């Protein structure tokens, strides 16, 4: 993102960064001139994740209209996130990754995990995680990795109660990225050869589109293992 620009010139950059973090399609702008060539009156609307945000005022310059559309989109997205229920996602395999990325985003020390085994004769574990001066305990699990994920989930649930929107946004982005990945599935080969070839072509076309979108995403190191 460019530095030193006035706030009113940064909205398009910020909106694009949001779509990159969430691995969404880049914002699409549509513009219209309701005036004349010598006296333009531009309006703009932008589509983000299937939702359209439109300016009400008109502007002399096209760039100003697009910046206003981006500003409206950012404000609406932020407001919607405030109204979201603070619920930890059901899929526990991303809890550690979310907590680690959150720590990096807000400048805190990385979480520290400690594994305990209640019964040495059985594969039953639980984990605690020390984060930002507090200790969180997860539910019991059948593996050490799952126990750490459960501890991270307990920390996330507690942090959401006082979250200003950063953590909630990260959870939403993680969910959108996972949903995008799930839409690109390998074809089934339990069919005739012609159908297999057709579905294989469609699959790899979707995979290329997904990877092109994901390649520009600024992501933190993966610590899910």
Q: Which domains does the chain have, with CATH numbers?
A: 7-83 (3.30.160.20), 92-174 (3.30.160.20)
Query: 5: which strand partners?
Result: none
Q: How far apart are CA 47 and CA 26, in angstroms?
A: 9
Provide the 3-class DSSP secondary structure of residue 143.
coil
Integer-rounded Cα Rg, in Å, for the chain is 22
Gap between the Cα atoms of 74 and 141, Å rounded: 40
Global confidence as pTM: 0.52
φ, ψ for residue 81 (rounded to 5)?
Answer: -65, -35
Distance CA 88, CA 98 (A): 11
Strand order in the sheet with 42-48: 28-33, 42-48, 51-54
User: How much is the pLDDT for 148?
Assistant: 95
Q: Give the pLDDT confidence of 170-180 residue by residue, as tens digits.
A: 787 777 666 65
Query: Which tens digits make up the pLDDT trace of 128-160?
Result: 999 999 999 999 998 999 999 999 999 998 998
Asked if residue 98 lies in contact with residue 171, where contact means CB atoms within 8 angstroms, the answer is yes
Buried b (16+ CB within 10 A) or exposed e, 45-63: bbbbeeeebebeebbeeee
Rounded alpha-carbon distances, angstroms, from residue 60 to 33, 42, 45, 73, 136: 9, 6, 15, 20, 55
Q: Sheet harboring 124-131: ordered strands across?
A: 112-119, 124-131, 134-137
- Residue 191 is predicted with a pLDDT of 46
Per-residue pLDDT tens digits of the chain, which is 225 residues long: 445 556 667 899 999 988 887 778 899 999 999 999 999 999 999 999 888 999 999 999 999 999 999 999 998 887 776 655 545 556 678 899 889 988 988 889 999 999 998 777 888 899 999 999 999 999 999 899 999 999 999 999 899 888 777 788 778 777 766 665 555 455 544 444 454 444 545 555 555 555 555 444 444 444 544
């Amino acid at each position: 993102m460019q530095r030193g620009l006035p706030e009113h010139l940064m909205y398009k950059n910020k909106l694009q960064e949001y779509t990159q973090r969430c691995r969404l399609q880049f914002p699409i702008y549509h513009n219209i001139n309701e005036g004349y060539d010598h006296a333009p009156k531009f309006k703009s609307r932008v589509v983000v994740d299937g939702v359209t945000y439109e300016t009400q005022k008109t502007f002399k310059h096209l760039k100003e209209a697009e910046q206003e559309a981006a500003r409206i989109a950012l404000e609406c997205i932020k407001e919607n996130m405030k109204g979201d229920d603070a619920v930890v996602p059901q899929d526990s395999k991303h809890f550690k990754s979310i907590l680690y990325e959150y720590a990096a985003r807000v400048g805190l020390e990385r979480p520290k995990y400690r594994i305990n085994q209640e019964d040495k004769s059985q594969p039953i574990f639980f984990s605690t995680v020390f984060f930002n001066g507090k200790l969180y305990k997860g539910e019991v699990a059948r593996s050490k990795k799952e126990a750490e994920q459960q501890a991270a989930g307990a920390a996330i649930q507690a942090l959401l109660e006082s979250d200003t929107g950063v953590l909630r946004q990260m959870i939403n982005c993680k969910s959108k990225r996972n949903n995008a990945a799930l839409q690109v599935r390998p074809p089934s080969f339990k069919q005739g050869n012609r159908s297999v070839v057709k579905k294989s072509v469609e699959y790899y076309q979707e995979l290329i589109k997904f990877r092109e979108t994901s390649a520009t995403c600024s992501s933190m190191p993966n610590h899910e293992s």
